[in-house]
Every structure is written in C-alpha cells, then in structure tokens.
Amino acid sequence: GQQVMQIPQYQHVQEGEDFTTYCNSSTTLSNIQWYKQRPGGHPVFLIQLVKSGEVKKQKRLTFQFGEAKKNSSLHITATQTTDVGTYFCAGRTSGSRLTFGEGTQLTVNP
C-alpha cells in the first residue's frame, strides 16, 4: 500500500534558526497536504499542493512539491516560539484516502 515517510522525527532549534521537514512517498501523489498540530491541539490545515514542482509561500513558511510528485518539503525561515508543534504531511493518490506521514515534532528554544 501507499506509504509516506517523513523526516526528521524530531527537530530542536534555537529561535531564529531555520527548519525543514521532508516527506517522501512510495507512489506518485495527486496532491499533498500539510497540517500543524500544536501540543494538546488538533491538526490544522496549512496548505495543499497539487501541481508538479509547485512552490507556495505563507509568510515564513515555504512549501514545495517535487517534480515527480513523490516528495514534498516544508521550510520555516527564522523560527519563532509560536512555530512549536508537530507538522504532518498527508499525501493522496487519485481516488484514495489521505496517508499521513509520521510527523516532525518541532521545539524552539527561546
């Protein structure tokens, strides 16, 4: 079945440093979605990428979808303490359910 691998599992950074999490799928995806879950909270939708090579930005967050539509990344520039949480990617092949990555838990030291 479809698998989505996400690395790293944990990332500790100093405030102001950059952060990147990566997702790789065993199969070509029709789209990929990113979610953020704060400690004690629920997953909150951030963005969806659909097109090959797509790049989208939300303030300090940059999302990329690979040319082959099998990998994606989320990059945060100059992290802040408000960025703390677990970031999940979730990929979908055509007509199938979302498959979540294991998530990257980000901690930011002030």
The residues binding other proteins (CB under 8 A) are 30-31, 33, 35, 41-45, 48, 50, 86, 88, 90, 92, 95-98, 100-103, 105
Strands lying side by side in the sheet with 19-25:
4-7, 19-25, 71-76, 61-65, 55-58
Cβ atoms of 104 and 97 closer than 8 Å = no
Nearer to other proteins, 8 or 16 (CB): 8
Whole-number minimum distance, CB 78 to other proteins, in Å?
26
CB of 26 to other proteins, least distance (A): 16
Beta carbon of residue 16, minimum distance to other proteins (angstroms, whole number): 26
Number of Cα atoms under 13 Å in the Cβ half of residue 11: 24
